[in-house]
Amino acid sequence: MRSDESKFSIFSKKKTVETDPSQLKIPTHLAVIMDGNGRWAKKRMLPRSAGHRAGADNLKNLCKNCGHYGIKYVTVYAFSTENWSRPESEVHTLMELFVEYFDRYDPELEQEGIRVRFTGDIAALPENIQAVCKRAEEGSKHRDRMTLIVAFNYGGRREIVQASQKLAERVAAGDITSDQITEELFAQNLYLPDVPDPDLIIRPSGEERTSNFLVWEGAYSELWFSDVLWPDFGMQELTDALIAYTKRDRRFGGLSEKKDDV
């Protein structure tokens, strides 16, 4: 066992997991790609809609588990810009679940002190979905224990393109010159510029790619992958991810602070 890990009882080989947050390095911002709903349903010979419903229900569990660890921001990849290519019936189911989720679970989100925000090309969504987004955001502004950010109709490349368009318009209008565009200015034109970049991105379901998720914001995020399908992703898996994150040495391109590293 490495010397820097010896103080953590959770690094022992015991099967039981110590979930004391004080023994872990807790990310400020956790992002999750909620993947594997369809395969979860297929394994149980259920329609894909059942998998999506189980996945939506598990989001409530994720929020509760993240609350246990004191994570302040949780972003979940709920619907990508590429998901429109799925069968119309599946897209319709996902939209219905989106509306149902916030109608059904808002009292629990209120009780847990969870603020809701959205990231993505929200203006391109159907009007009833936009109305749900507005209602959920306006109704939860006062909550301050955790912020749940739902990436809906989200694509990392589209976010970058739209930020570029905003800056191009400012250059054309003479507000700024092209050489005044910095990384900091560019970041201010992303969907949620006031939200810190994710420290850790989790993807369950056995896939090991980020799939156009938080392309700019996730440049220095730690990545953690799990074979567990999203509807089955629970406290055990979250704890495993946080244990792995605790072991990571985040250098952001600099040198390690550990004396034994060159």
Q: Known catalytic residues?
A: 35, 83
Q: Output the six-digit token pair for 247.
A: 């072991």
Which tokens sit at 191? Answer: 């969907």
> What is the residue-wise DSSP string for 76-102?
EEEEEGGGGGS-HHHHHHHHHHHHHHH
Torsion of CA 238, 243, 249, 253, to 10 degrees: -10
Q: Which residues pair with 200 in a beta bridge?
A: 30, 222
d(CA 17, CA 11): 9
Q: Give the rounded distance of the alpha carbon of 84 from its chain centre.
A: 20
Distant-in-sequence, close-in-space partners of 88: CB < 8 Å, separation ≥ 6: none
Place of tokens 């955790």: 146
* Residue 116, burial from CB neighbour count under 10 angstroms (0-12, 13-18, 19+): buried
Picking from 214, 195, 237, the residue whose alpha carbon sits closest to that of residue 76 is: 214
Q: Which residues on neighbouring strands pair with residue 77, listed in sequence order?
A: 33, 151
